[in-house]
Amino acid sequence: MKRAGPVPKPGGPEEHEAVVPDGERVFIGLGANLGDARTAVAQALDALAALPQTRLVAVSRLYRSAPVDAQGPDFVNAVAELRTGLTPRDLLSALQAIEHAHGRERPHRNAPRTLDLDLLLYGQRVVEEPGLALPHPRLHERAFVLLPLAELAPELEHPRLGPLAAFRERVAAQPIQALA
Active-site amino acid positions: 104, 113, 116, 118
3-state secondary structure 151-170: HHCCCCEECCCEEHHHHCHH
Which residue, among 78, 65, 98, 53, has the nearest Cα to 2 in the 3D structure?
Answer: 78
CB count within 10 Å of CB 170 equals 12
Strand 63-65 versus strand 75-84 pairing type: antiparallel
Which residues share a beta bridge with 25? 83
Distance CA 142, CA 140 (A): 6
Cα–Cα distances in Å, from 158 out to 52, 54, 121, 150, 153? 26, 22, 8, 12, 12
